[in-house]
Structure 1
Amino acid sequence: MKSTTTIIAYAFVLMLLISCTRNQSKSISNDEDINLAKIDSKVIDGRIPKPKSIRKQGVQKYIDTLHIPSKYVVTIPLEINERKIDIRLLLAKSEDLLRGKNYTIAEIEEGTSNFLPKSAYRCIEGTIELQHWQTINNGSYYYTYGYYKDKEFRENEFVSRKRMTFRNRDYNFITIIDMDNDGYEDLLILDLASSMRDNDMYQFYKWSEKESKFIFVPDFFDKAAFYGWDKTGKYLITGVSYSRERKLYKNKIVRGKLKTIDQCIEYAVSDKFCW
């Protein structure tokens, strides 16, 4: 009987030793968990893998992203009529994930200069978000942040001062130019929200010397797309493009309004072009 009791006691002690050993190994392996717990998951793109699958290089990659803020501001500098206007664009990380990437959402920051009416800011904001060829929404939030950090958070590539030549697609969506030849620079802003395929719609903002600010000119292009200037740079080309044809108008500006002086139709099956 005594030997049986002794055996049971030894077995119990052995089980305690095994349990302690297991608990000790768990606490050691969880040291990595404790270190990772210090990382704020709200500012990390993607999920942190389980400790077993973590490599030192992978951990370093996530740690390197901790300095990236969830919001930051990019300045679009405009110099118009000897005045400087800074459009401040607030960029933020969206909560929606597409293929594991946090995409960037944009909005005009409050307190921006009142030289432009609210409609202009809304147009700029919407166009930036829909501009697929720009950096914004072209990659992850971290890629976008890195891009603007390298540019010191100033974006000059949005703005152009050249006349958009018809058939030349190389231009930016904010154009500073004297449209009506009154000696003051005006603004053309690409309105992607209202555009269709092959039909780029623009909003025209005329500078008012009297009010010292820009005034929106509705229906300036008469609900037609704006394709740029002709080769001479004197006439504006507008029109509407369909799948099989494109109806074009050559215009000049008379008393602040477009006046059509010629029109032409281009067909998809033909290699003949207007002007």
Structure 2
Amino acid sequence: MTEAATRGVEPAGSTSSPRADFGRAVRDTIPVAMGYTPLGAAFGILLVNSGLDWYWAPLSAALIFAGSMEFLAVGLITAGTPLLQVAVMTLAVNFRHVFYALSFPMQLLRGWGRRLYGAFALTDETYSLLATIPRQEMTANRLTFIQLLSHAYWVGGSIIGALLSFALPSSIQGLSFVLTALFVVLAQDCFYKRKDSAPTLMGLAAGFVALGVGERSFLAVALTVYVAMLLGWYLLQRKRSAGEEGT
């Protein structure tokens, strides 16, 4: 009997039951639920107060599932924005997901159905959450459950907000900060769990650089600077490893 088995710990790379993976996914997504539910409610309130029927909130949350773009889409739709402009705006807002896909554990997912949903449900928050979980502990079921639960929180929150909008004032301040607070919690958790703090520090540095550019280009500049720093750090690590092997 192995040491891991005597301690009741599953060896790295072993499979676990769907029920156990679901329980882990529920615990993993508690911070996401605390952010998605009130933020989804804010989206539902905004949508109904903009003159759209309440059922567009859960429908949009289920089919689009892109928080920042959904908020932006409400204004674009109510303003009668041309479809081509909406498409260009969507590409610009969600282009950051190209970088997420580079390290998303797609190889764990088997079958086109799971893979398509994995790509569709890859959001900022689920990506940040997955970054805090060691790869050897991640399974296909756990990954899918994390995305399904996060999606459910967003849809559920939008339904709550759409229904509550009929009884609440037309303007509620402060709900939009929930998303920022969620990222702070996820970044803090990632910092504590990772042995190497360099990626977190580089992310902070990239953010400060982007602040000097302005709000409109903040995200694009921050991502570009961060990717450049990561690439430089990776090349430096490779150079050091090659030097150690040569000595």
Q: Which structure is richer in relative contact order (CA contacts within 8 A, separation 6 or more)?
A: 2
Larger Rg: 1
Do they fold alike, i.e. is TM over 0.5?
no
TM-score, normalization: structure 2?
Answer: 0.27
TM-score, structure 1 length as denominator?
A: 0.25
Whichever structure has more helix as a proportion of its residues is: 2
